Amino acid sequence: MPAKYIFVTGGVVSSLGKGLAAASMGCLLESRGLRVNLQKFDPYLNVDPGTMSPFQHGEVFVTDDGAETDLDLGHYERFTHAKLTRDNNWTTGRIYEQIIAKERRGDYLGKTVQVIPHVTNEIKAAMKKVSQDVDVCIVEIGGTVGDIESLPFIEAIRQMRQDLGRENTLFVHVTLVPFIGVAGELKTKPTQHSVKELLSVGIQPDILLCRTDRFLSKEIKGKIALFCNVEEEAVITAIDVGSIYEVPLTFAHEGVDKLVLRYLHIDAGVRDISRWEELVSRVNNPKDEVSIGLVGKYVEYEDSYKSLKEALVHGALSQNLKLNVSWIEAEGLETKGREYESQLEGYDGILVPGGFGKRGIAGMLNGIRFARERKVPYFGICLGMQTACIEFARDVVGLETANSSEFDPATPHRIIYKLRELRGVEELGGTMRLGAWQCKLEPGSLAAKAYRTNEISERHRHRYEFNREYEQPLTAAGLRISGATPDGTYVEIIELPESEHPYFLGCQFHPEFKSKPLEPHPLFVSFIKAAYENRQRRVAEKSAAEVEMFLRPEKVGRP
């Protein structure tokens, strides 16, 4: 049977969580035995988000096939088993890029190329590309209804209903029902206006997911249903929740999946979300907590490390722990002496995430030195591996000018240098080492123990690499290279031996992209485990010191 489509649009304001709503519907449909795929259309003109600043766009999520995509694809992968590729994320820029290439080739045979039908046909063709071997495709349209730039996508989904019929297409609109404090009331007018806007472009929504901070009464639901021309049952309270992993449960409670099946005439199995229920009960009943200090430069904008933060949560949940993440501005650690150390005390583990450019590097190096010397578990990802190598080369090997040619092109000791295959490539879009690469692990290493295998595949996004000319002096001083590509070209993982440090590991890839709440990534599990052991050690030392103070105050210097 051909796939059926659910189209998700958003109204009133941005950031209502359309991506999470789409992912959660996918999760519920999978829990009934259906096969789903998810796709996102972004109405901006960049070909992909790869060249956009993290402040503008948030994290760039990388797929196995090396596409640089919107962060909502991360939610899709974390909530479902859909296998995402570059076909799962399209921007206006990429649609136009295709059309212009066709026009230049002469494919349009002299016709005038127009938004309707040429742009809309290209959008519909992209939608059909991801419908093979699945029962339901969930297609999210980025932006807010009423934006000029999203019009061609809205028109394309209107046509999809014309083409495929009512039983094969469903329109889900995510909207806002705000509580106005001074009036003491929930207000339905923004939703009414937003639906009116959709109607003006030919779309009558079937289901309204109403974002709100409190439950919608029967009366409010009835009012929205009446004004927006939907069934009362199809007005859903999409209430704010403490953890994003609760969203599928709240949707299940509101009967979203039942409605979808009824509207799309799908006969599916009984819903089984027991694993998600169990997960949420762990979220709500942690046995203890763990604190991780994240030293980076895009800290003030949380979306820039979305997958990373989730992967840390997964690692903590795997051990029944509540995660406290503190974002530490790297530049704030650039003190003359060791004053920066006071900012780092109190964390159970320290992590330096991926990043680009020179700003904040000196602070990251200080953070890493602190973790190495004080034996605080350290996890370096991509840039965090590169900076760990530089710190080691400078402070342990004594190569004071060790650097990456990214930060100092003239440095005599290029521990990290431009990827050999990228020399001479100046264009920025899509030119990094991207996507999944195989990696061989050293048997017996920290990495191999964490993964419980010696062969892995992980996703990359970088332009610089470890310079193997420095392998000898660094390994002679105690650094261990525990992961490399099978042909030995690229160093992928470095670590310190467990005899030297409880947990010190850096990887050139981004493990956070493959971590899921129900399948936490082995490196995040092992890092959090080490951080928690460090916490327990510190607690034990603190109480031993207190006992000592009580028993022998003269010895410990109490007056």
Q: Active-site residue numbers?
A: 382, 510, 512
Stretch that binds ligand GLN, among 216-224, 353-361, 488-496, 498-506 (CB under 6 A): 353-361
Stretch that binds ligand GLN, among 11-19, 119-127, 166-174, 462-470 (CB under 6 A): 462-470
- Can residue 464 be called a binding residue for ligand GLN (CB under 6 A)? yes
Nearer to ligand GLN, 394 or 461 (CB): 461
List binders of ligand GLN among 386-445 (CB under 6 A). 406
| Identified binder of ligand GLN from the candidate list 294, 383, 446, 507, rule CB under 6 A | 383
- Can residue 78 be called a binding residue for ligand GLN (CB under 6 A)? no
Nearer to ligand GLN, 406 or 495 (CB): 406
Instruction: Please state, in angstroms and rounded to a whole number, the distance separating the CA atoms of residues 284 and 276.
Output: 12
Nearer to ligand GLN, 282 or 521 (CB): 521
CB proximity list for 238: less than 8 A, separation 6 or greater: 17, 21, 174, 209, 210, 211, 212, 247, 250, 251, 254
- Can residue 223 be called a binding residue for ligand GLN (CB under 6 A)? no
Shortest Å, Cβ 510 to ligand GLN: 7
| Identified binder of ligand GLN from the candidate list 49, 58, 296, 354, rule CB under 6 A | 354
Shortest Å, Cβ 336 to ligand GLN: 26
Closest of 414, 407, 356 to residue 384, by C-alpha = 356
Here the tokens at position 322 are 């509540």
Shortest Å, Cβ 386 to ligand GLN: 6
CA atoms within 13 A on the CB side of 261: 18
Shortest Å, Cβ 364 to ligand GLN: 11
Calculate ∠ Cα 75-80-82, nearest 5°.
Answer: 100
Stretch that binds ligand GLN, among 6-14, 227-235, 257-265, 461-469 (CB under 6 A): 461-469
- Can residue 248 be called a binding residue for ligand GLN (CB under 6 A)? no
Nearer to ligand GLN, 462 or 521 (CB): 462
**Which H, E and C letters describe 460-497, residue by residue?**
EEECEEECHHHHHHHHHCCCEEEEECCCCCCEEEEECC
Instruction: Please state, in angstroms and rounded to a whole number, the distance separating the CA atoms of residues 255 and 360.
Output: 48
| Identified binder of ligand GLN from the candidate list 371, 382, 441, 474, rule CB under 6 A | 382
Count of residues that interact with ligand GLN, criterion CB under 6 A: 10
Closest of 16, 400, 453 to residue 238, by C-alpha = 16
Stretch that binds ligand GLN, among 166-174, 350-358, 443-451, 480-488 (CB under 6 A): 350-358
| Identified binder of ligand GLN from the candidate list 128, 356, 408, 478, rule CB under 6 A | 356
Shortest Å, Cβ 356 to ligand GLN: 4
| Identified binder of ligand GLN from the candidate list 461, 514, 529, 535, rule CB under 6 A | 461
DSSP three-state, residue 505: strand
Shortest Å, Cβ 66 to ligand GLN: 13
Nearer to ligand GLN, 417 or 504 (CB): 417
Closest of 343, 397, 400 to residue 366, by C-alpha = 343
| Identified binder of ligand GLN from the candidate list 355, 363, 377, 511, rule CB under 6 A | 355
List binders of ligand GLN among 100-119 (CB under 6 A). none
Nearer to ligand GLN, 192 or 485 (CB): 485
- Can residue 506 be called a binding residue for ligand GLN (CB under 6 A)? no
Instruction: Please state, in angstroms and rounded to a whole number, the distance separating the CA atoms of residues 292 and 271.
Output: 36
Contact flags string 262-281 toward ligand GLN, x per CB under 6 A: --------------------
Closest of 245, 280, 288 to residue 529, by C-alpha = 288
Shortest Å, Cβ 289 to ligand GLN: 28
Nearer to ligand GLN, 79 or 490 (CB): 490
**Residue whose tokens read 């485990």:** 529
Per-residue exposure over 2-34, b if at least 16 CB sit within 10 Å of its own CB, e if not: ebbbbbbbbbbeeebbbbbbbbbbbbbbbbbeb
- Can residue 58 be called a binding residue for ligand GLN (CB under 6 A)? no
Nearer to ligand GLN, 1 or 410 (CB): 410
Stretch that binds ligand GLN, among 109-117, 178-186, 349-357, 493-501 (CB under 6 A): 349-357
Cβ-contact 24, 209 below 8 angstroms:
no
Other C-beta atoms closer than 10 Å to the C-beta of 179 total 12
Other C-beta atoms closer than 10 Å to the C-beta of 554 total 7
Shortest Å, Cβ 56 to ligand GLN: 17
DSSP 8-state code for residue 352: E
Shortest Å, Cβ 383 to ligand GLN: 4
- Can residue 296 be called a binding residue for ligand GLN (CB under 6 A)? no
Stretch that binds ligand GLN, among 191-199, 200-208, 262-270, 458-466 (CB under 6 A): 458-466
Here the tokens at position 7 are 């189209």
Mode of pairing for the β-strands spanning 480-484 and 321-329: unpaired
Calculate ∠ Cα 76-531-363, nearest 5°.
Answer: 85
Closest of 364, 402, 401, 377 to residue 495, by C-alpha = 377
Cβ-contact 224, 188 below 8 angstroms:
yes
Axis crossing angle, helix 120-129 with helix 92-105, rounded to the nearest 10: 110
Other C-beta atoms closer than 10 Å to the C-beta of 379 total 30
- Can residue 511 be called a binding residue for ligand GLN (CB under 6 A)? no
Nearer to ligand GLN, 238 or 382 (CB): 382
Number of residues assigned to the chain? 559
Nearer to ligand GLN, 445 or 508 (CB): 508
Q: Which residues bind ligand GLN (CB under 6 A)?
A: 354-356, 382-383, 406, 461-464
